[in-house]
Amino acid sequence: MTIKKIMVIGAGQMGGGIAQVSAQAGYDTVQYDINMDLVNKGLAVIEKNLSRDVSKGKKSKEDKAAILGRIKPSVKLEDAADCDLVVEAIVENFDIKKQVFSQLDQIAPAHAILASNTSSLPITQIAATTKRPEKVIGMHFMNPVPVMKLVEIIRGLATTDEVYKIIEEASIKMGKTPVWCKDVPGFISNRVLQVMINEALWELYEGVAPAENIDNIMKLGMNHPMGPCELADLIGLDTILSILNVMYDGYGDPKYRPSPLLKQYVQAGWLGRKTGKGIYDYR
């Protein structure tokens, strides 16, 4: 099976980035969200990213126009009917993903692969909501998608070697380095990363030091490009809380219990850069 057309579900920070790298790789791309305002918001970010590349001389104006021309906006899941691959990048919530996967399973052609960009949810459990579990896989891009080199590929219990191989090739075509992992809560990336971010949030909760100090220590002392508090605001505090809860439930180990401060920020709607306020203020 050759992938020609890809549908990306969700036009938020991850879905928009995935649509961009998909179109850059030459795939016909459908960018879906629940309403046209959200789709247009996602497309505007892609346009801005491409314009920046043009002004830096990394892309020609013609390249930019061709990439944008390959992205079709959509608010109809039925547009999956002629797609070879669907990549879901909606909110990190199993019940919502379940609804979307069972609908996509009925719409997408029998040969189509259904991938999830989930940060932590079990691929096997998502696959079980469809009648094609062998064609369901985790395709975990990193934020910001156009920049980060990794795609962590997660194989569910039923995922076939053939499906894995196709997703590996598509990831390479999108300019990424694929690295596989078994289907465990949080996979490899977030099992390591979110424990660090959560620990920084516990330090903040205990008043050990302000966020700036925690970030400076990790940036200047460990050469991390961003401190854990800055990174938490980039990822989204709602997403981090969901990931920690999935790992806390999945392993039953108290090392994953979310900092009370994280819960409080999410309750306040302080979700990070995307809402203008998180640990830091961006307004």
Positions touching ligand NAD (CB under 6 A) are 9-15, 33-34, 38, 89-92, 96, 100, 117-119, 141, 143, 235-236, 239, 274
Pairing of strands 150-155, 136-141: antiparallel
Instruction: Find which of ligand NAD, ligand CAA, none residue 130 binds, CB within 5 to 8 Å per kind.
Output: none
Check if 223 is active-site.
Answer: no
Nearest CB to ligand NAD, comparing residues 219 and 274: 274
User: Minimum Å distance from CB 148 to ligand NAD?
Assistant: 9
Spatial CB neighbours of 227, under 8 Å, sequence gap ≥ 6: 200, 211, 214, 215, 216, 217, 218, 219
**Which DSSP symbol is given to 76?**
-
Of the residues 119, 120, 171, 189, which is catalytic? 119
Closer residue to ligand CAA (CB): 125 or 143? 143
Query: Where is the binding site for NAD(+), in residues?
Result: 10-15, 33, 92, 97, 119, 143, 274
Judged by beta carbon, residue 74 or residue 194, the one nearer ligand CAA is 194
Shortest distance in whole angstroms from residue 186 CB to ligand CAA: 9
- Active-site residue 190, yes or no? yes
Give the DSSP letter of residue 244: H
Chain residues in the site for ligand CAA (CB under 6 A)? 49, 52, 56, 58, 119, 142-144, 146-148, 189-190, 193, 225-226, 231, 235
As a whole number of angstroms, the distance between CA 195 and CA 191 comes to: 7
The answer to whether 14 and 144 have CB atoms below 8 angstroms apart is: no
> Of ligand NAD, ligand CAA, none, which one sits near residue 231, judging by CB under 5 to 8 A according to partner kind?
ligand CAA
Whichever of 142 and 271 has its CB closer to ligand CAA, that residue is 142
Q: Is 111 a catalytic residue?
A: no
Give the list of residues 6+ apart from residue 262 with CB closer than 8 angstroms, or none. 198, 201, 237, 240, 241, 244
Going by the annotation, the residues of the binding site are 10-15, 33, 92, 97, 119, 143, 274
Among 49, 116, 189, 190, the active-site one is: 190
Report the candidate in 175, 141, 162, 127 with the shortest Cα–Cα distance to residue 2.
162
Exposure on the CB side of residue 38, measured as CA atoms within 13 A:
15
Q: Measured between alpha carbons, how far is 249 from 237 in angstroms, rounded to an integer?
A: 18
Report the DSSP beta bridge partners of residue 71: 29
Whether 74 is a known active-site residue: answer: no
4 near 22, Cβ under 8 Å? no
Smallest distance, ligand NAD to C-beta of residue 283, A: 18
Report in angstroms how near the CB of residue 54 gets to ligand NAD at its nearest.
Answer: 25
Q: Are 18 and 141 in contact (CB under 8 A)?
A: yes
Considering the candidates 49, 120, 140, 198, report the single residue annotated as catalytic.
140
14 CB-near residues (< 8 Å, 6+ apart): 89, 117, 141, 143, 145
190 binds, among ligand NAD, ligand CAA, none (CB under 5 to 8 A by kind): ligand CAA
Min. distance of Cβ 79 from ligand CAA in angstroms?
25
Q: For ligand CAA, give the closer residue by CB, 110 or 147.
A: 147
Q: Is 188 exposed, middle or buried (0-12, 13-18, 19+ CB in 10 A)?
A: middle
Choosing from 88, 152, 168, 203, the catalytic residue is: 152
List, by residue number, the catalytic residues: 119, 140, 152, 190
